């Protein structure tokens, strides 16, 4: 029987990996939190000696600190010592391990740091609770409190990873229907709800949205001449083409019809004119579009609402980020389903000498019946 493979540390930069970046003195106070996360991550895969902790800390730290930490006596000793290593690291970052460093700004930064760390077990939550409450109670119990109980409630909930936070809010909203919208729940209630959810394992299948996703595009043959990357944009009221692409294609332009176009930063400009009944071939399905020509456009072609309406386009988004679009020929009823690609990453190679400022134009694909050498 093959022996089971030992578990590996999460890849540096992955969402399960600890991370610590030093940009200035304000980051010093998060160092102890980082060390705790390193130790927890190592123990979760069965690595529990001082050398494992030190190696992981050096792996996950800011590149600017990695060489220094690797040369510290605590790391290079015949028997590496985790406690000595941490003490030596703290000596380079003033107030990194002192309780008098706490301010409300520090609490905000710790919350921002912790909310990126998944909480999968009760042990994970215990670590989170310790980090938040160590600072929170210190600020709350000063002779002149630096935060209120309401502030602590807010920060306590905000610092929890979104996947678990969503379940906590759902549970507490059902249990306390009279809670004012937007008012944070008492941290004691959040603690109890988190422990209940983690004990029951009800958070394990929760998925959350990415922070952003790239625009999708097709690459139709335009006017039977060239393939041009064309961005799908339901939020645009026209079909538009960059001036550079229009010049390359040599399409006839009607300069008597111009429209004012507004960009995302509220700047506006007039189009150069319109190209009537331009042929677009999408995998054998041909449609005729009215295309406005725009100077200094940040795209090659933009397929806006007129395209979607004409083709009765149906979008099929997949969980892995893939997207299919089904188009219908308004004249024949023929349909075709095509995969989209991410903007700026077309399915075909760039022409030689292509620069990012040049239009993304490609030679037409050969027909399926073409003979290849």
pLDDT for position 80: 87
In three-state secondary structure terms, 262 is: strand
- Say if residue 86 is in the same domain as residue 109: no
**Backbone torsions φ then ψ of 50, nearest 5 degrees:** -60, -40
pLDDT for position 325: 95
Residue with tokens 């510290």, as numbered in its chain: 72
**Length of the chain (residues):** 373
Domain with 334 in it: 216-342
Query: Which of 158, 175, 200 marks a domain boundary?
Result: 200
Q: Is residue 137 part of a domain?
A: yes
Q: Is residue 318 part of a domain?
A: yes
- Find the CATH number of the domain harbouring 279: 2.40.70.10
**Backbone torsions φ then ψ of 334, nearest 5 degrees:** -65, 140
For the stretch 110-144, pLDDT in tens is 888 888 888 888 888 888 888 888 888 888 887 78
pLDDT for position 218: 93
Count other Cβ atoms within 10 Å, centred on residue 279.
14
Segments of the chain scoring below 50 in pLDDT: 1-4, 345-373
Query: Which of 48, 67, 96 marks a domain boundary?
Result: 96
Query: Which of 170, 200, 230 marks a domain boundary?
Result: 200
In three-state secondary structure terms, 316 is: strand
For the stretch 313-372, pLDDT in tens is 999 998 778 899 999 999 999 999 999 988 874 333 334 433 333 344 444 443 333 333
Q: Is residue 261 part of a domain?
A: yes
- Say if residue 224 is in the same domain as residue 298: yes
pLDDT for position 257: 93
pLDDT for position 14: 73
Helix (H) or strand (E) holding 155: helix 149-158
Could you give the CA distance from residue 34 to residue 280 in angstroms, rounded to a whole number?
A: 55
Q: Is residue 5 part of a domain?
A: no
pLDDT for position 355: 38
Q: Is residue 241 part of a domain?
A: yes
pLDDT for position 369: 39
pLDDT for position 112: 86
Q: Is residue 169 a contact partner of residue 212, using CB atoms and an 8 Å limit? A: no
Helix (H) or strand (E) holding 225: none
- Say if residue 220 is in the same domain as residue 313: yes
């Amino acid at each position: 029987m093959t022996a089971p493979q030992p578990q590996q540390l999460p890849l540096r930069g992955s969402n399960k990996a600890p991370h610590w970046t030093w940009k200035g003195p304000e980051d010093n106070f998060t160092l102890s939190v980082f060390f705790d996360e390193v130790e927890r991550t190592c123990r979760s895969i069965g690595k529990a000696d001082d050398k494992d902790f030190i190696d992981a800390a050096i792996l996950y730290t800011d590149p600017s600190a990695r060489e220094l930490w690797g040369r510290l006596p605590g790391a290079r000793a015949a028997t590496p010592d985790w406690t000595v290593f941490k003490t030596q690291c703290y000596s380079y970052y003033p107030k990194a391990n002192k309780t008098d460093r706490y301010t409300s700004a520090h609490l905000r930064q710790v919350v921002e740091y912790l909310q990126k760390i998944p909480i999968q077990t009760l042990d994970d939550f215990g670590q989170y609770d310790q980090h938040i409450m160590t600072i929170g109670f210190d600020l709350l119990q000063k002779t002149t409190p630096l935060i209120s109980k309401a502030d602590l409630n807010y920060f306590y909930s905000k610092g929890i990873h979104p996947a678990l936070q969503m379940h906590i809010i759902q549970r507490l909203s059902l249990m306390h229907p009279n809670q004012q919208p937007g008012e944070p729940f008492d941290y004691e209630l959040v603690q109890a709800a988190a422990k209940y959810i983690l004990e029951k394992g009800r958070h394990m299948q929760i998925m959350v949205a990415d922070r952003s996703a790239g625009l999708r595009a097709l690459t139709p043959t335009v006017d039977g001449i060239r393939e041009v990357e064309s961005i799908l944009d339901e939020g645009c009221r026209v079909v538009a083409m960059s001036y550079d692409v229009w010049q390359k294609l040599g399409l006839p332009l009607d300069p008597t019809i111009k429209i004012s176009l507004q960009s995302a930063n509220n700047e506006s400009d007039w189009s150069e004119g319109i190209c009537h009944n331009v042929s677009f071939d999408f995998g054998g399905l041909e449609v005729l579009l009215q295309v406005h020509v725009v100077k200094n456009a940040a795209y090659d072609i933009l397929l806006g609402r007129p395209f979607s309406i004409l083709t009765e386009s149906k979008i099929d988004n997949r969980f892995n980020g893939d997207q299919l679009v089904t188009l219908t020929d308004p004249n024949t009823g023929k349909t075709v389903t095509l995969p989209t690609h991410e903007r700026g990453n077309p399915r075909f190679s760039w022409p030689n000498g292509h620069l990012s400022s040049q239009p993304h134009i490609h030679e037409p694909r050969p027909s399926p019946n073409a003979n290849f050498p």
